Chains A and B, each alone.
Chain A
Amino acid sequence: MILANVFCILLFLDKILHSPASGQDPHGWRTPVDCVRANELCAAESSCSSRYRTLRQCLAGRDRNTMLANKECQAALEVLQESSLYDCHCKRGMKKELQCLQIYWSIHLGLTEGEEFYEASPYEPVTSRLSDIFRLASIFSGMDPATNSKSNHCLDAAKACNLNDNCKRLRSAYISTCSKEISATEHCNRRKCHKALRQFFDRVPSEYTYRLLFCSCKDPACAERRRQTIVPSCSYEDKEKPNCLDLRNMCRTDHLCRSRLADFHTNCQVSFQSLTSCPGDNYQACLGAYAGMIGFDMTPNYIDSSIASITVSPWCSCRGSGNMEEECEKFLRDFTENPCLRNAIQAFGNGTDVNLSPKNPSLPVTLPPETEKSPALPDDINDSNTIYDTSVITTCTSVQEHGPKLNKSKEHSLCFSETLLTTDIMPDQKTFVDQKASGSRHSARGILSGLPFLLVKLAL
């Protein structure tokens, strides 16, 4: 009880420190809303909606400085900083994720000063822990990654996925898409392959996907299987290796890629305040952010099948950086020589997690479980549009599509059991912290969010 109080006070302090403009929030607490909802709230208010419209016009095709030179634009920005649009976030794999991110960046692009090296994540902070995954994994498969040391963990992970209908279906979907040869000149359809990979990592619970992606290996055959997980010949490798900063710029022109990269930078950035080198000692958040980049321009992968050192990198190099060499190397090192990411991958492989004494101390608000299902798109084949489509044909609909031969009651039971499954094994999407994270004070937030954990530890 005392601990809980201490924590509440800390959280409150955390909030005050985070408030970018004092007095904007008289109660200190504001229920976090996602940006789609915040946009709806704003639309209902005539003053907010007109300012928002002004700001969007201001930002269209102009850089920050010319925009701020305009009085009207400046005023619009100031007013919007006090609306719920300012501190709204998005959820990974949520319904209308792209729309949410578009709203987020429409405000935040006007707030950040030019091209920042690190950008704050538009996603809600991850509160679940690796240990939650281990617990679930052992319940679901009866196979503990730490027990049998002789076996090939990556093979075990493939087995666990094959025995789960949802995982098997989406894994087969991306493998067949990514390994389908189109013609003698075109090796595969990269765009479709990336899309299928995104569906796999967004829709399959992480105890399956992480096991495939971060399995620990003792021999090269296993490590090669691990490297092959994302079908790198199609999704990763390319004829040429672009410059990493060019690749980053390309990624930043796309709202989803930009957000996933910002999320990686937020959750895997090396922190000197923590034992694990990870922000808030949260391995789960870093691994999730890493997996979130798979299927975009910045897709990372293991660079070889060595077992001694785990090195991951996007498909880029620092050749041709000119006078930006240093910045390029810094960017690349966040992948190749990142102790937080490396520790997180190793901890997952070993089945260990940071032992936080009050387990999940940061859970003051727990939302009632609510399944977020995107509407199934029957015209999945027709993906000629460039807009990302994170929806997927669910088991229910694929059964319905096979239609007339099946009886109705069976369909329903199938749909129902799948919904139950997703509710049960994805706690990370249902709960979140009432923690206001200011958009532009990103670096300060990284340090501060670790503070409560450290202090609670000290208090013990």
Chain B
Amino acid sequence: NRMKRARARHKPCALKELEVSVSELGLGYESDEIVLFRYCTGTCETAIRNYDLSLKNMRLKKKIKKEKVRARPCCRPLAYDDDVSFLDTYNRYYTVNELSAKECGCV
């Protein structure tokens, strides 16, 4: 079981999808309409660049102290899906943009 979890944690960055109601998105809209929510998940170990290694070392050597830095690549959307429109419980239409990921990458 632990092996399974470990392997899951080491899955490379990729797109996953979830069917959720618009209300569950927590954006303040009330609607029972189900939408497809695509998100990015996975690790980016293979995408570590010399930049990341150097930055890490600079921090270790206290050359960078106060600033906030991120010394490892992050699994994020490279592109977002088209707009999503829905009808809410009060029969008004809404359109939200950049709700869902379209392509993921380590950036």
Interface size class for chain A? Answer: 20 to 34
Interface assignment of B35: CB less than 8 Å from any CB of chain A: yes
Contact at B33–A175, with CB atoms within 8 Å? no
Within 8 A of B (CB), among A200-238: 221, 224-225, 228, 231
Chain B residues packing against A (C-beta within 8 Å):
19, 32-36, 78-79, 82-87, 89, 91, 93-95, 103
Across the two chains, which residue of chain B brings its CB closest to A158?
A: B33
1/0 per residue, CB under 8 A from B, across A400-440: the answer is: 00100110001000000000000000000000000000000
Bound together, the chains give a CA A267 to CA B89 distance in angstroms of 35
Within 8 A of B (CB), among A121-157: 152, 155
Which residue in A163, A172, A224, A228 is a CB contact (below 8 Å) of B83?
A172
Which residue in B35, B79, B84, B86 is a CB contact (below 8 Å) of A402?
B79
Bound together, the chains give a CA A205 to CA B78 distance in angstroms of 30
Min CB distance B91 to A, Å, is 6
Min CB distance A173 to B, Å, is 8
Q: Which residues of B contact A178 (CB under 8 A)?
A: 93
Min CB distance A187 to B, Å, is 13
The A interface, classified by DSSP as helix, strand, loop or mixed, is helix
Contact at B19–A175, with CB atoms within 8 Å? no
Residue among B32, B84, B87, B89 with the most chain A CB within 10 A? B87
Q: Which residues of B contact A159 (CB under 8 A)?
A: 19, 33-34
A-B contact pairs, 8 of them (CB 8 A): A155-B32, A162-B34, A162-B35, A175-B95, A224-B91, A225-B87, A228-B87, A231-B93
Bound together, the chains give a CA A168 to CA B84 distance in angstroms of 7
Q: Which residues of B contact A163 (CB under 8 A)?
A: 19, 34, 36
Min CB distance B98 to A, Å, is 13
Known contacts A163-B19, A231-B93; decide if A176 and B34 are in contact (CB<8 Å).
no
Chain A residues packing against B (C-beta within 8 Å):
152, 155, 158-159, 162-163, 168-169, 171-173, 175-176, 178-179, 221, 224-225, 228, 231, 398, 402, 405-406, 410
Bound together, the chains give a CA A231 to CA B32 distance in angstroms of 18
Contact at B85–A171, with CB atoms within 8 Å? yes
Which residue in B19, B35, B82, B103 is a CB contact (below 8 Å) of A406?
B103
Known contacts A162-B84, A405-B78; decide if A179 and B33 are in contact (CB<8 Å).
no
Bound together, the chains give a CA A178 to CA B87 distance in angstroms of 13
Q: Which residues of A contact B86 (CB under 8 A)?
A: 158, 162, 175
Bound together, the chains give a CA A221 to CA B103 distance in angstroms of 37
Contact at B79–A175, with CB atoms within 8 Å? no
Bound together, the chains give a CA A172 to CA B36 distance in angstroms of 13
Bound together, the chains give a CA A119 to CA B91 distance in angstroms of 38
Across the two chains, which residue of chain B brings its CB closest to A225?
A: B87
Q: Which residues of A contact B33 (CB under 8 A)?
A: 155, 158-159, 162
Bound together, the chains give a CA A231 to CA B19 distance in angstroms of 25
Across the two chains, which residue of chain A brings its CB closest to B105?
A: A405
> Assuming A168-B82, A171-B85, what are 19 further A-B pairs, CB within 8 angstroms?
A152-B32, A158-B33, A159-B19, A162-B33, A162-B36, A162-B86, A168-B35, A172-B83, A172-B85, A173-B83, A175-B93, A175-B95, A176-B83, A178-B93, A179-B95, A225-B87, A231-B93, A405-B78, A406-B79
Min CB distance A59 to B, Å, is 44
Known contacts A175-B95, A224-B91, A406-B103; decide if A168 and B79 are in contact (CB<8 Å).
no
Bound together, the chains give a CA A113 to CA B29 distance in angstroms of 56
Min CB distance B36 to A, Å, is 5
Contact at B84–A172, with CB atoms within 8 Å? yes
Min CB distance A400 to B, Å, is 13
Q: Which residues of A contact B83 (CB under 8 A)?
A: 172-173, 176
Residue among A159, A398, A406, A410 with the most chain B CB within 10 A? A159
Q: Which residues of A contact B35 (CB under 8 A)?
A: 162, 168
Bound together, the chains give a CA A171 to CA B91 distance in angstroms of 16
